[in-house]
Structure 1
Amino acid sequence: MIEVRYGAGPEKIGQLSTEELRSTFLIENVFPKDEARLVYTHIDRMILGGCSPVTSTVEIGDGTAIGTPHLLSYREMGIANLGGPGRIEADDQSFDLANRDVLYVGRGTKRLRMQSADPNNPACFYMTSVPSQVDIPNRLITKGQSKLLELGEERRANKRSLRMYIHPQVAPSALLLMGITDLAHGSVWNTMPPHLHERRMEAYVYFDMEAEDRVVHLMGRPDETRHLMVANGDAILSPAWSIHMGAGTGPYAFVWSMTGENQEYTDVDPVPVSTLR
């Protein structure tokens, strides 16, 4: 089964209660043990989810829920390993993923099998998939092969390292972009300054957090912001009309994935912090 989320427009944001806001835009517990959790959002038809294979292999591939022979009959997928070493079998190919490695899976793949190398240090596989109309070969992108960008300032508590994995400058795709951002020691703010990108939606999963910590994720239109309290292993759906920024009560990292009209990472509309309400 695949859970379905329909999203909401900006005119509804002020009418949602805390629980309604969470059930619309927040996906909790993305990494269940020994099974996959997948969520289909009508926001640009992205599928996201994850699994943590501990004692058994997790297999996905059936496309019945989305009306296709296989899950990836007409889709591409990015899979980031956020845990211990693991292996992914994509049909007749096998890939070994270390922590912070990403696997690009091309359209037409029939079956994915995921397992951990050590049940005492299980892999955590985070998946995002979007429609694709081109055939691109599967490819493993290691952390060392990603493109590193250093962003932010220590004095503004937003210094961070952003690594591009699935991106035209690193590994090609149809429309999927995927990367990982780590906050520098002592920094708390991500995605600063805030911005909109009307031509792309985005999804995040927050990880490497202590159980008691939270990220205060801000969303909504610039003149009507709302917040979500996000725990370790929770994911956020961010529509194109919404800002996205956050601050953590402790160290954290996140995976970002995007899809939409283009793959221009800099195609954004900045929003001055002073104008937020």
Structure 2
Amino acid sequence: MTMKVLYGAGPNDIKTYDTARLRAEFLMEDLFQANKVSFTYTHVDRLILGGAVPTSSTLSFGSGEEIGTPFLLSAREMGIANLGGTGVVSVDGKSFTLENRDVLYVGRGAQEISVASASADKPARFYMNSVPAGADIPHRLIKRAESKMLTFGDPKRANLRNLRMYIHPEVTPSCLLLLGITDLAEGSVWNTMPPHLHERRMEAYCYFDLPEEERVIHLMGRPEETRHLVVKNLDAVLSPAWSIHMGAGTGPYAFVWGMTGENQEYNDVAPVALSELR
């Protein structure tokens, strides 16, 4: 298991960032590596992002040595989304089978977690978000059919999309973690359009199901002084509470969104008019 650390930045800091520095601080390109478990710890609301791709063997993790606790989840909860082939996640000896786009909620106090793929030829790709938690909530597998789907946007504006809530008070309770998956309709390219801010929560995106040759232009920064990141398949992006987040793809794609902060009110947002963007 590897753990990279990012310390975060404020809106005034990124005024001087070139492309390389912006990518280094906000973009994770190496979460998904064959037969490895990779984590990034960010000081932006203490979110940990992780990726695991078990192929020829089972991968295990759970030590809290790098974050100063007995176990990784001694004081944390975690959401695990499967973005690949069928896989199995075992939590302290209890096994859960995750098909593509299933999500497992792992509550505070879990000690040993292992992940495996049903087939080495079509491995599972496990994407993880973990945040501090102040309550013990039972683990739960959320199948795709059990998620709550909402539809947003308009095909005339190229932003029609289906949003599925998995870890959310209306589906599966958690302490502070929210997690879901958004799919864009055929012919739509924009996500989260128009943009918004939510000062009481940060968010992380993981883009997936993007063809190898395609890219997403992810917009971030303050509305009056935007920046952008060019992202590829399975890249993850940090979006601090002070930053807008929206993107447009050159081809079809989906993304996992994860949030944490002061509340779990999904609609606690401040819309930003397109005319305000600079």
Q: CA deviation at 1:29?
A: 2.7
Give the SS at the match of 1:10. Answer: coil
**Match status 1:177 vs 2:183:** no
Partner of 1:231: 232
Cα deviation 1:119-157 (Å, max 9, x = unaligned): 111100000000001000000000000000011000000
Q: What is the CA–CA distance in structure 1 between the aligned matches of 2:61 and 2:192, rounded to whole Å?
A: 32
Partner of 2:50: 49
Q: What is the CA–CA distance in structure 2 between the aligned matches of 1:18 and 1:50, rounded to whole Å?
A: 24
**Match status 1:196 vs 2:200:** no
Q: CA deviation at 1:94?
A: 0.5
After TM superposition, list the pairs within 5 Å mapping 1:21-170 onto structure 2.
21-170=22-171
Q: What is the CA–CA distance in structure 2 between the aligned matches of 1:183 and 1:224, rounded to whole Å?
A: 27
RMSD: 0.5
Structure 1 window deviating more from structure 2 (29-38 vs 197-206): it is 29-38
For 2:153, give the aligned amino acid.
G
Q: What is the CA–CA distance in structure 2 between the aligned matches of 1:22 and 1:251, rounded to whole Å?
A: 23
For 1:152, give the aligned amino acid.
G
| Number of residue equivalences | 277
Q: What is the CA–CA distance in structure 2 between the aligned matches of 1:107 and 1:123, rounded to whole Å?
A: 24
Partner of 2:254: 253
Q: What is the CA–CA distance in structure 2 between the aligned matches of 1:59 and 1:234, rounded to whole Å?
A: 22
| Identical-residue share of aligned pairs (%) | 64
Q: Which runs of 4+ in 1 moved over 3 A?
A: none
Q: CA deviation at 1:250?
A: 0.4
Give the SS at the match of 1:65. Answer: helix
Please, which runs of 5 or more residues in structure 2 have no aligned partner? Answer: none
Partner of 1:210: 211
Give the SS at the match of 1:13. Answer: helix
Q: What is the CA–CA distance in structure 2 between the aligned matches of 1:275 and 1:223, rounded to whole Å?
A: 6
Q: What is the CA–CA distance in structure 2 between the aligned matches of 1:216 and 1:7, rounded to whole Å?
A: 21
Cα deviation 1:175-225 (Å, max 9, x = unaligned): 000000000000000001100000000001000011111100000000000
Q: What is the CA–CA distance in structure 2 between the aligned matches of 1:117 and 1:41, rounded to whole Å?
A: 31
Give the SS at the match of 1:24. Answer: helix
Give the SS at the match of 1:14. Answer: helix
Give the SS at the match of 2:21. Answer: helix
Q: What is the CA–CA distance in structure 2 between the aligned matches of 1:228 and 1:81, rounded to whole Å?
A: 24
Q: What is the CA–CA distance in structure 2 between the aligned matches of 1:87 and 1:108, rounded to whole Å?
A: 20
Q: CA deviation at 1:267?
A: 0.1
Q: What is the CA–CA distance in structure 2 between the aligned matches of 1:143 and 1:218, rounded to whole Å?
A: 28
Cα deviation 1:81-128 (Å, max 9, x = unaligned): 000000000002100000000000000000100000011111000000
For 1:6, give the aligned amino acid.
Y
Partner of 2:15: 14
Q: TM-score, with normalisation over the residues of structure 1?
A: 0.99
Structure 1 window deviating more from structure 2 (25-34 vs 228-237): it is 25-34
Give the SS at the match of 1:2. Answer: strand
For 2:74, give the aligned amino acid.
S
